[in-house]
Structure 1
Amino acid sequence: MKLNLYLSEILITATVCSLVLVYLSWRRRQLPIAKSYGLGVFAGAFYTFGYAFELVSDDLKDILFWLKFEYIGIPFAPTLWMIMVLQYTGRQAYIRRWTVAILMIVPVCTLAAVHTNDWHHLFYRSVSLDFSEGVPLIDLNHGPLFYLHVVYSFFFFFLGMGLLLHMCFIAPSRMKKQIIFMMIGSCGPFGFSLMYVTGILKTSIDVSPFGFLISGVFYLLGIYQFNMLRLSPLAHQKVFDSIQDAVIVFDLDHNISEYNRSASRMIEGLHNRNAIGQPAATLFSSYPILLNTILQEPLSENRVLSGDHGNDRVYQAQVLYIYDNRSRPTGKMLLLRDTTDAVRSEERLINNAKQLQELNTFKDELFSVVAHDIRDPLAILLNLMEILEEELPAGSGGHEEIVHEMGQQLRKTLTLAENLLGWFRKHQGGMILSPDTHDLFDAVQMSLHLLQIRSGGKGIVMVSEVPPDTWVYVDKEMLSLIVRNLLSNAVKFTDTGGSIKVRAEHSDGKMIVAISDTGVGVREDLAQTLLQSDYSTSTAGTAGEQGIGLGLAICREFVRLNGGEIWFDSDPAQGSTFYFTLPLPPGVSNIDSNIAVDLYERRAAE
């Protein structure tokens, strides 16, 4: 068999090898570098396939046909290779649509020049057959556009090889082999083409396509051995260095293989590249706790380490095995995070929270003591003042008015102290609900008695229709405060000569208590929010009485705590009726009622 047939078979093999690489690149087409590499190899496949048939063609016309077929890919291969190198070396920022369009101008012109050479002869001045090798080979007299194509292609080749060489110097040792495979594979087609163009090889056979066979072999080895199309080395290094945590890689003998910038800042001794290859025992001698973690078997959970290197730094460390493709351990990886600031901040927050809790506890105790110590003396003073008012002889002049005013102020201050104490207990959670069976009659009579002087000063008649032995199951202290606050509000907003009535009836297994007055009623603008807010707006009474707006909020909360509801019905200028329900003692039977049952049922339905 003639030599040209052997060479043709070799080129067909190279074409198959190139198509395999194109397929592998297509499978990884989500990666930009795989796209540019696959297109470049596909362009080279036109060259090897076309020249394989050119070698076995006998007619000049057939040879020219395959020559034009080869140039479908030849002009674009150098440009696509350059794009791949830019992506491989981490310079993909230079790749834009307009830059690619500019780079494609010369290849497109070359393609057009080859297929229109018969018109202008600027690419080939003349074409003939050469039989010096024993087979018909084409003899080309090159024109200026051919040399433009050659200069353009080799400019990109030398530029790209310079970028790869520079990357090889700065890349970590474990990535240098991958870069070297890339450089050798790239030298195949460009190197053979350079020898053919310069005439170093004294032969009429174009050896350029055979370089693609060498290129294909090395690229295949690179893809399978180093996963070359997965991620470019420089991009990998940038990702590695951008990790905020310290990452240190060891071999199985605990020698350092690689580390990132965060590790060099965190660990002394990793400031220069001489640390590569050094044993962990040497570089971590100042970090005994950390060294012990490295030498032990890797753990899945994190460890918190502190006290290394004579300081109080706190680290969060995790050691993992690194496995090869056969799931065999090839090294260890240490992930290290400096959590000192976070731990110190957490400690400060805990200390601050503890101090705040202590201050809050002290405040609660102080408030409770003060409220109790103020309320009890005020209650005694108020009782003494009431006795003084009763025994004060008529016609005592200005003394009677002074004593009356002092009594009013004492009552107001006592109410304020009781409301503040109730509000404090409600929000502090210190009031423990202690329900028991109590007589509502006693609670109402006690409140009426406390408010007798105040209501008598305004000429208000207060009547209780609550019969004795009206038992309810509530907290006694809360019940007294509820009744007293509602009666106090009724006195406050009832004009001179008015009346207040207290009633209570059973209904639906509950006791409904109603406190009615003939006062000014609730304004429409306050009706919607009166029992909704924790801090009701204080409104002056009919005689100028003032409050702090806590009474109704405390009543609402205490009624709720005892399992009841509270609502009201008001008619401006006609008066108001405040209703609240209380649970009955266990075993008390229900009695038909005729008081506000419809209002209660309507309220319950809402």
Structure 2
Amino acid sequence: MDFTFNTYSVILLFFGTVTIILPYYIYRSSEGAVRWFSFAMLSNAIWCLGYGFELASSDLEQVKVFVDIQYIGITTLPVYWLLFCMKLSGLEKWYQRRLNAYLLCFMTLISCIMVWTNDHHHFYYKEMHIDFTEKIPLLSFKRGTGYLLFTIYFYITLLVANILLYISYKKSAPIYKRQRYSIIFSSTIPWMANFCYLLGLRPFGNMDITPFSFIISVFVVAIAVHRFRLFDIIPVAREKVLDLMQDGFLIVDDRHRIIDYNKAAVQYIQPGQKIVGMPMKIAFPDQEEMLNFIKNERSGKVVLTMERLKGTVHLEAEIQLLNENELNSNTTIIRLQDLTQIKKEELRSLQQTEELKRLNQLKDRIFSIISHDLRGPLVNLSEVIKMISNDLITIEEFKMLSPTLSKDILYTTDLLENILHWSRSQLSGYGIKKEHFDLRSMVVNEINYYLPSAASKKISIIQDVFPGKLVYADMLMVQIVVRNLLNNAIKFCYEGCQIDVFAMYHKSGMMELCIMDNGAGMEEQVLKKLFSGENQSTRGTMNEKGTGLGLMVCKEFMERNNGSIKVESETGKGTKFFIYLPIAPE
């Protein structure tokens, strides 16, 4: 091969050689998007070297060889630049799809093949010859259809890449301003030069100034790497790190507008408009304390409570003013830490503490009942038995005492039964045996159990529960509930009163069982404490004693069976208890 080197060819060969070495070190010392940039530099180097040797050649066949070499760089350069911009924008999933990767490879390969085989079809170049009228021999050609198609593909690829680059950096914080301008400016130079060449604006005749413009572009990038540490922190990496953080981050300028944010912060910002540029008073309209911190340029922490779509949100806003930065104005960084779960845990802990206090008070009360109410009747019974055994009382006197003893024993039995069932229900391993059972049969059995007590006060019990009404619950628990309610009804009824027991299907899909009496009734303040265990038991219409534990047990058992209990009462008119039972498993 015969070469006649000139100033233009030497410049291209020198910088092409430097450029072809530089990508190797960039590739070895970096990763991610920077590696795609090193491939783009390698393509540029191949283009520069090929064109440098072309400018030093005067033989057409020799020129064609270097044109073929140039197109290895020309066809791969837009592809590598597109991949670089995609990686920088976080869109690498697109080219990781096999079909898209094949498409890029196909376009590159078919373009090279068209150039390499042009002598057989002239689809790319219609005509090629050496122009000796210029200062140096230059290739002159007529464009073919393939040339026009490749040019369109070339510029579409570059346009898409630069749009992605612009969108990626548009959201970046001001701290990345110099980096953004460096990349955009360096990428614009060669495309403008090539565009001028295609339009016929050629200051050096038929010489293509695009490779020379790439030298300027690489020079700008080199300055950016050295001066602005261009690839030390890639903005997309910073964005991914911020987006992975659970805390929300906002950057606010000196005019109190949001200029940057991460994904976690979006859920806390008042919806309605674009976030970047949104004033803080619109983003957080009801947070005067935080807005005052920002307005007065103060750093500190503020607790926020906001209503959002997912409910009430509790946040801690840590405000940090950056007044010693390299930017043109003061910047405020706000970290939003979600305290909602912590607040819920605090509330749950407080509720558990209150529940423990209540249980401790209830425990003390139960011990008091056991030590007094339970001990009293048993001591009385023991003393009576001793007196009989020592012949201190007669049989007639014992018969006179037996009604009182019977009431004491019945009271003691009910007391022990309620304490036993309540205590068992508090055990963590206590199981519930839910099953379908006939409500009427259970109610009739409990009524029959209390008929003697009702008869002694001349109280009539009328039940109107139809056969076949099935409910789904623990039968023993429901039995204890009905037993307590019937016992209370009898206890607070006067002689000649009536107790009605009936059941019906409720609109909620539950079975409603009502136990109603026309006895003494209850006052409003008694109703409020009825199921809490705080209510002190009052004596019945015939001085019957109670513990105050029965209704607490009723409420506990109904809740554990996915049911409920409520009461309606009026002093002097009577009381209605309603219990609601499931009729099928949930």
State TM-score, norm by structure 1.
Answer: 0.52
2 CA distance for matches of 1:233 and 1:5?
40
SS in 1 for 2:316: strand
Checking the alignment, whether the CA contact within 8 Å between 1:47 and 1:73 is kept in structure 2 is yes
Amino acid at match of 1:56: A
Could you report, residue by residue, the CA deviation over 1:356-400 in whole angstroms, capped at 9, with x for unpaired residues? Answer: 13321221111111111413541452354255247599xx9xx99
1 CA distance for matches of 2:27 and 2:323?
25
1:385 matched to which residue of 2? 385
SS in 2 for 1:73: helix
1:5 matched to which residue of 2? 7
Change (3 A) 1:272 1:290: closer
Checking the alignment, whether the CA contact within 8 Å between 1:8 and 1:51 is kept in structure 2 is no
Root-mean-square deviation (Å): 5.3
1:56 matched to which residue of 2? 56
SS in 2 for 1:203: coil
What does 1:101-500 correspond to in 2, within 5 Å?
101-164=102-165, 175=176, 177-201=178-202, 203-224=205-226, 228-229=230-231, 245-249=247-251, 258-260=259-261, 262=265, 266=269, 287-288=288-289, 291-292=292-293, 303-305=301-303, 315-320=315-320, 332-337=332-337, 339=339, 341-342=340-341, 345-346=344-345, 348-372=347-371, 373-375=373-375, 377-382=377-382, 384-386=384-386, 388-389=388-389
2 CA distance for matches of 1:185 and 1:254?
32
1 CA distance for matches of 2:260 and 2:47?
44
Checking the alignment, whether the CA contact within 8 Å between 2:251 and 2:259 is kept in structure 1 is yes
Q: How many Å apart are 1:194 and its aligned residue?
A: 2.4
Checking the alignment, whether the CA contact within 8 Å between 2:8 and 2:55 is kept in structure 1 is no
Checking the alignment, whether the CA contact within 8 Å between 1:168 and 1:180 is kept in structure 2 is no
1:450 matched to which residue of 2? none
1:84 matched to which residue of 2? 84
Q: How many Å apart are 1:229 and its aligned residue?
A: 4.6
Q: How many Å apart are 1:46 and its aligned residue?
A: 0.7
2 CA distance for matches of 1:147 and 1:266?
50
Aligned length: 403
Change (3 A) 1:367 1:236: same
Question: Could you list the runs of 5+ residues in structure 2 that have no partner in the other structure?
Answer: 307-311, 428-586
1 CA distance for matches of 2:249 and 2:320?
11
Could you report, residue by residue, the CA deviation over 1:153-176 in whole angstroms, capped at 9, with x for unpaired residues? Answer: 122233444455566666665555
Amino acid at match of 1:132: T
Checking the alignment, whether the CA contact within 8 Å between 1:290 and 1:305 is kept in structure 2 is no
2 CA distance for matches of 1:74 and 1:352?
72
Change (3 A) 1:48 1:288: same
Checking the alignment, whether the CA contact within 8 Å between 2:43 and 2:76 is kept in structure 1 is yes
Q: How many Å apart are 1:342 and its aligned residue?
A: 4.8
Change (3 A) 1:250 1:266: closer
Could you report, residue by residue, the CA deviation over 1:167-211 in whole angstroms, capped at 9, with x for unpaired residues? Answer: 666666555554443332222332222222332205132222112
Q: How many Å apart are 1:321 and its aligned residue?
A: 6.8
Change (3 A) 1:258 1:58: same
Q: How many Å apart are 1:288 and its aligned residue?
A: 4.5
2 CA distance for matches of 1:285 and 1:387?
80
1:37 matched to which residue of 2? 37
Amino acid at match of 2:365: L
Amino acid at match of 1:23: Y
Matched, 1:73 2:73: yes
Amino acid at match of 1:4: N
Amino acid at match of 1:64: K
Deviates more, 1:264-273 or 1:213-222: 264-273
SS in 2 for 1:191: helix
SS in 1 for 2:129: strand
Change (3 A) 1:266 1:204: closer
Question: Could you list the runs of 5+ residues in structure 1 that have no partner in the other structure?
Answer: 429-606
Identity %: 21
Checking the alignment, whether the CA contact within 8 Å between 1:12 and 1:48 is kept in structure 2 is no
Could you report, residue by residue, the CA deviation over 1:91-120 in whole angstroms, capped at 9, with x for unpaired residues? Answer: 445332211211322220121233333443
Could you report, residue by residue, the CA deviation over 1:33-71 in whole angstroms, capped at 9, with x for unpaired residues? Answer: 334332222222110122222323354444333222222
Could you report, residue by residue, the CA deviation over 1:290-322 in whole angstroms, capped at 9, with x for unpaired residues? Answer: 6448868867xxx454699xxx99642334476
Q: How many Å apart are 1:79 and its aligned residue?
A: 2.2
2 CA distance for matches of 1:82 and 1:315?
41
Change (3 A) 1:219 1:362: same
Change (3 A) 1:37 1:272: closer
SS in 1 for 2:130: strand
Change (3 A) 1:55 1:322: farther
Checking the alignment, whether the CA contact within 8 Å between 2:252 and 2:258 is kept in structure 1 is yes
Amino acid at match of 1:211: S
2 CA distance for matches of 1:140 and 1:267?
61
Deviates more, 1:263-272 or 1:197-206: 263-272
Change (3 A) 1:324 1:91: farther
Change (3 A) 1:291 1:223: farther
2 CA distance for matches of 1:182 and 1:98?
29
Amino acid at match of 2:159: F
Change (3 A) 1:290 1:342: farther
Amino acid at match of 1:360: L
SS in 2 for 1:57: coil
Checking the alignment, whether the CA contact within 8 Å between 1:185 and 1:216 is kept in structure 2 is yes
Checking the alignment, whether the CA contact within 8 Å between 2:128 and 2:141 is kept in structure 1 is yes
SS in 2 for 1:334: strand
Checking the alignment, whether the CA contact within 8 Å between 1:316 and 1:336 is kept in structure 2 is yes
Checking the alignment, whether the CA contact within 8 Å between 1:89 and 1:232 is kept in structure 2 is no
Change (3 A) 1:148 1:58: same
Change (3 A) 1:268 1:109: closer
Change (3 A) 1:336 1:390: same
Checking the alignment, whether the CA contact within 8 Å between 1:90 and 1:232 is kept in structure 2 is no
1 CA distance for matches of 2:101 and 2:56?
36
Change (3 A) 1:263 1:82: closer
Change (3 A) 1:317 1:170: closer
Could you report, residue by residue, the CA deviation over 1:375-427 in whole angstroms, capped at 9, with x for unpaired residues? Answer: 3541452354255247599xx9xx99xx9xx99x98xx89x97xx89x98xx9
Q: How many Å apart are 1:289 and its aligned residue?
A: 6.3
Amino acid at match of 2:100: T
Checking the alignment, whether the CA contact within 8 Å between 2:114 and 2:146 is kept in structure 1 is yes
SS in 2 for 1:128: strand
1:461 matched to which residue of 2? none
1 CA distance for matches of 2:314 and 2:228?
37
Change (3 A) 1:177 1:146: same
SS in 1 for 2:317: strand
Change (3 A) 1:54 1:307: closer
Change (3 A) 1:54 1:232: same
Change (3 A) 1:274 1:165: closer
Q: How many Å apart are 1:259 and its aligned residue?
A: 4.2
